[in-house]
Structure 1
Amino acid sequence: MAMVDNFSNRLYSPASEIDIESLFLQARQLIFQGQILEAYKLFNEYIKNTLSADEQCRYWDGSDLRGGRLYIFDEWLFIDRTFGNHSELIGLGDYLQYARYFSFLAKLDSQITIKCNQALHRLFRYNFPNLTFTADKPTCYDYLFFGCSLPAVFSSISSKPYLKASQPIYLPKTDKLRIGICWAASVKMRSIPLKAFEPILKLSNCEFWAIQKGNALAELAEYSHRLNHIELQDFDHTAAVVNELDLIISVDTSVAHLAGSIGKPVWVLLPLDADARWGSNTTQTDWYSTMRLFRQPEQDNWATPISEVSLALKQLV
């Protein structure tokens, strides 16, 4: 999460904050109800109304750009009248999810610059060579648009794979089912202690690989005899590794989105209070055709979904 000073001047009155916040809440409710495209149109209005007057005038409405320069930005204002407004960056998983719309952007008569985390650049540049990806805000542009609002403009959702690694990686051959495990996310409530995966890691005829970065790798020491590990670089490299595996089992994090975006079977373990994008009480998602959802029945109970995953795995091996 990043804090930005100039956001404090973007809203005009406490009354307008209430109205703008209601757009966000309505959009979230519509997503839970499965009305995804309608939700994104409301969310897009929310984003537009948090911008300055000048930015609102230049906010793209989906019409012909006539050669104008379009800047896709990655920072948005979250209105919270209880704890205070703050800005947030689009998450890595979010950008992987909305990258399905980059092919539409590439067809526009415009110079498109997309601001996103550098770890995504190599993967995105390979798949969308006509677009410009940068870690910095461009100095000149004619229009701007928020990266997470792209569904509101293109009004479609396709679950077909849309990304691939630039270079293959070849792991040693095996007759076992190769499974990638990602157990930690940047959001604590989405993370699961690696120890909780023991019922899965004990299964025979499976070869397990840790698809994990960061401090959570410290948990590997106890399970090095069951979990192989390769040092992951950026998302292009990770996509190549994931492509070599048969299945990914992941918490709700960027690895899950990456696997879905390249068409790899991925089973996602969701907390009770899951992100709205995953709907409610469903095991499938419109976003990825190869994804299966396993949900917590109550808070802090990861044993149940882990048991369900273990049972499903036994049926495969």
Structure 2
Amino acid sequence: MGPTADRAAPPLTVREAIALAHTHWNAGQAAQAEDLCLRVLDAVPDQPDARHLLGLIAHAYGHPALALAHLRAACQPPAAPAVYCSNLAEVCRQQGRLDEAEAAARRAVAADPGLAEGWNNLGIILQEAGQLAASLDCLQRVAALLPDSPQAHNNLGNTCKRLGDNPQALAHYRRALELDPDYAQALSNMAVALGDEGRHEAALAAIRRAIEIDPLLPQAHLNLAALERARPRPGQGQAIPGGAPAPAAPPDEHALGEAEALLREGRYAEAETLLRDALAQAGRHVALLRLLVQALRPQGKLREARAALEHVLRAEPGDTGSRFELAEVLLTEGDFDAGWREYRYRYHLAHTAALARHVQKPRWDGRPIPGQTLLLHDEQGYGDTFQFLQLVALARARSGARIVLEVKSPCHALARRGDGIDEVIVAGSPPPPFDLHCELMSLPLALGLRLDDLPVRTAYLRADPARVARWRARLAGLPRPLVGLAWAGRPTHPRDAQRSLALADLAPLAQPGITFIGLQVGEASAQAASPPPGLNLVPLGQDIQDFDDTAAILTLLDVLVSVDSSPVHLAGALGCPAWALLPFASDWRWLRERRDSPWYPSLRLFRQPAPDAWRPVLEEVAVALRALQAARSADA
């Protein structure tokens, strides 16, 4: 939760706001794009252009259910832009909803028969559904519309391969590689086709080149292993590859739909039971397993979720969404070695423009680069930025480079006072010349960060002394202890319902002699006008202009009590005491069952003992507040 602009009555027309949102999105500024779309929806509920872009943003950040909801709303009949229907089709395909995907793709090409993307998506959907002749027709249309598209020829090759026309498949793969010699996926596919013709040396050369180009292409590694096994050895006849496991039976579409409805309602245990029954009937079908993961994780069943994800990835190694989910599970379990490796797959999610910035230059991999310039840049929320700024000084020491840091505007002033930074720029402005780049959240992988390395630094951000002096004067004379309160995060966060509270929920914290300082900003700050009885609240949200104000106030408090949102991370980065109120299935960075944070020694964690069980958490915090008050009285 960081300071946000008031969304009421934006001084833009809807068309201007949507255009500006797309400008932000294309510049990698997802938060600004999302905020503009939400302003539009405040003025025009279910405005399709805003819903569509929100769907792309949700999809980019790995939130499939939210993405699907937005895109379905954007594509409500009778009319919807063809490209919106095409994007809905692709999201449905990635979630295994092939019937809905096909219907959306057919709407797209009916609305715009010249939309190559729509025909391409329909062709791939039909290919996955086993309708190979129809798939071939669609993909031939794509090649006619885009004769110089390497992707079109690669996809045509795949369908020809499945139809048993290996020579034609090879012809399309070769054409794709004529158009793009570094097309790793086409090289990998061509290697399989060459292997099927017994041309093992040529196949191995192609697959090794594919891996050299894209070491993160999972299917290429599997293809290499298969080709190595099938390669004839001296004195042996040609090996006969073992048969692939029989495919699982198609899942019951009704079961899928019912499970999705239960998940939307937060009825995770019921969804789990239904999905396990469906899996018993259909076998380990990936669509069912993906949904099962969504039922298991909110219940804290990480070991089972990990097993389900591993089954999915054995069946579909290229499922980058599941790899990203596996990364979060591994990191929650404290397995940083494997977790950070999997976390890099977030760059391979569909529509990840918000994550893949500055890729015209190589990504830094942790090696010394003395005399060069390394551009570090944020990529997700404000809290993520505050958390991973603790690694910047180590990156500078390890690289020997000049460090340029790019952050969103609300973090700019604070970041300028961070350690190990030579220059700070605002995201969206032209960067100075640089040699390599690295996202802040890729630094753990580059640095080989392990759990026992934490904390790398403490109190690595500093408040502005002038702001501190101003807020000290404002708070002077208030009875202590001073306890900061932040009760809600960004309402559009996919897990906001699990992490945020209403101010009224904090009634158990009220007790005489404690002054509560309201740090809540945004829509939820309006609740400060009616605090619970007995809770002596001084609301400051309307006067907080930026994170520099929040930082200054945090240095003057006895403790911050906050849900999992940016003020907690800012307090930790400043070295200020804070108590984090965490849901039962908390975010990966808080690990499992710990009451402390290895990232932030000044934090104390208060966890739900069961899903939605906030009352025990608040009662525990109330006891801790009484102890704080007693200790302060004893020291007086």
Give the structure-2-normalised TM-score: 0.43
Paired letter, 1:135: A
In structure 2, the partner of 1:306 is: 618
1:223-274 deviation line (CA, Å, top 9, x unaligned):
2972112311221221111100000000000000011111111111111221
| Separation in structure 1 between the aligned mates of residue 538 and residue 184 of structure 2, nearest angstrom | 50
Distance in structure 2 (CA, Å) of the matches to 1:295 and 1:135: 35
Structure 1 residues 269 and 119: CA distance shift in structure 2, 3 A: same
- Which of the residues 169, 191, 196 maps onto 2:500? 191
RMSD of aligned residue pairs (Cα, Å): 3.1
- In percent, how many aligned pairs have the same letter? 30
- Alpha carbons 2:404, 2:422 under 8 Å: kept: no
Counterparts of 1:19 and 1:143, CA distance in 2: 28
Does residue 18 of structure 1 match 2:318? yes
Task: Please show how residues 127-146 of structure 1 align to structure 2 within 5 Å.
Answer: 127-128=418-419, 130-136=422-428, 138=430, 140-146=433-439
The partner residue of 1:122 within 397, 413, 427 is: 413
**2:365 is matched with which residue: 41, 61, 73?**
61
* Partner of residue 130, structure 2: none
**1:177/1:11 CA distance change after superposition, 3 Å:** farther
> 1:22 offset after TM fit, Å?
4.9
- Indicate the larger mover: 19-28 or 189-198: 19-28
Alpha-carbon distance, 1:137 to partner: 5.7
Distance 1:41 1:229, change over 3 A: same
Q: Deviations over 1:95-152 (max 9, x none)?
A: 0000101222444443433222111000110224523232226454322212112122
Partner of 1:215: 523
TM-score, scaled to structure 1? 0.83
Equivalent residue for 1:205, pick from 513, 529, 536: 513
* AA in 1 matched with 2:458: K
For residue 56 of structure 1, report the CA deviation from its aligned partner.
8.6
Specify which of 359, 365, 382 is matched with residue 92 of structure 1: 382
In 2: Cα distance, 1:263 partner to 1:173 partner: 24
1:176 is matched with 480
SS of corresponding position for 2:438: strand
Matched AA of 1:103: A
Determine the structure 1 residue equivalent to 2:140: none
The structure with more strand, counted as a fraction of residues: 1
The change in CA–CA distance for 1:222 and 1:66 in structure 2 (over 3 A counts) is same
In structure 2, distance between residues paired with 1:246 and 1:287: 20
Q: Does 1:287 align with 2:596?
A: no
**Amino acid of the structure 2 residue aligned with 1:144:** H
**Larger displacement relative to structure 2 (35-44 or 170-179):** 35-44
Counterpart in 1 of 2:460?
162
Which range is displaced more, 117-126 or 132-141? 132-141
Distance in 2, Cα, partners of 1:260 & 1:98? 11
**Structure 2, unpaired ranges of 5+:** 1-29, 34-52, 61-86, 88-150, 152-182, 187-216, 220-316, 630-636
Match of 2:340 in 1: 40
Q: 2:407 touches 2:424 (CA, 8 Å); kept in 1?
A: no
Rounded to whole Å, the distance in 2 between the matches of 1:105 and 1:145 is 10
Letter in 2 for 1:160: T
In structure 2, the partner of 1:74 is 378
3-state SS in 2 of match to 1:150: helix
8 Å contact from structure 1 (residues 106, 131) kept in 2: no
CA positional deviation for 1:15: 7.3
Cα distance in 2 for residues equivalent to 1:261 and 1:307: 27
Aligned-residue offset at 1:65: 2.2
Residues 578 and 602 in structure 2, CA contact (< 8 A), matched pair in contact too = yes
Name the counterpart of 1:259: 571
Q: 1:173 to 1:297 in 2, by over 3 A?
A: same
Instruction: Quote how far apart the aligned CAs of 1:11 are.
Output: 10
Which amino acid counterpart does residue 366 of structure 2 have in structure 1? G
Distance 1:37 1:232, change over 3 A: farther
Deviation of residue 216 (structure 1)?
A: 0.7
Rg larger in structure: 2
Paired residues of 1:37 and 1:151 also in contact (CA < 8 A): no
Cα–Cα, structure 1 residues 22 and 199, in superposed 2: closer, same or farther, change >3 Å? closer
Aligned partner of residue 223 in structure 1, secondary structure: coil
Residue 150 (structure 1) aligns with: 443
Q: Following the alignment from structure 1 to structure 2, what is the Cα–Cα distance between the partners of residues 138 and 109?
A: 23
Q: Tell me which amino acid in the other structure corresponds to 2:436.
A: Y
Tell me the SS of whatever aligns to 2:339. Answer: helix
**Matched letter for residue 418 of structure 2:** N
Q: For residues 219 and 56 of structure 1, what CA distance do their matches in structure 2 show?
A: 46
More helix by proportion, 1 or 2?
2
Q: Structure 2 counterpart of 1:101, which letter?
A: L
Which is worse superposed, 222-231 or 282-291? 222-231
**Closer, same or farther: CA 133–11 of 1 in aligned 2, 3 Å:** farther
2: distance between equivalents of 1:47 and 1:300?
Answer: 29
Name the CA distance, whole Å, in 2 between partners of 1:265 and 1:73.
Answer: 27
2:385 is matched by which residue type in structure 1? Answer: Y
Counterparts in 2 of 1:37 and 1:290: CA distance versus 1, 3 Å: farther
Q: Which amino acid aligns with 2:386?
A: L
Contact 1:48/1:59, CA 8 A, preserved across alignment: no
> In 2, distance between residues paired with 1:276 and 1:214?
25
Q: For the structure 1 residues 49 and 218, does the alpha-carbon distance in structure 2 shift closer, same or farther, using more than 3 Å as the test?
A: closer
Whether the 8 Å CA contact 1:116–1:134 is kept in 2: the answer is yes
Native 8 Å contact 1:66 1:109 kept in 2: yes
Query: What is the CA distance between 1:195 and its match in structure 2?
Result: 0.1
8 Å CA contact 1:71–1:141 kept in 2: the answer is: yes
Q: Cα gap change, 1:281/1:26 in structure 2, threshold over 3 Å: closer, same or farther?
A: same
Match of 1:297 among 586, 592, 609: 609
- 1:67–1:48 Cα change, 3 Å: farther
Residue 294 of structure 1, CA deviation: 1.2
SS in 2 for 1:18: coil
Shift of 1:55: 3.5
Alpha-carbon distance, 1:38 to partner: 4.3
For residue 299 of structure 1, report the CA deviation from its aligned partner: 3.0
CA distance in 1, matches of 2:610, 2:184: 38
Counterpart of 1:226 (choices 536, 560, 569) is 536
2: CA distance between counterparts of 1:272 and 1:49? 29
Q: Which amino acid aligns with 1:221?
A: A
What is the Cα deviation at residue 197 of structure 1? 0.6
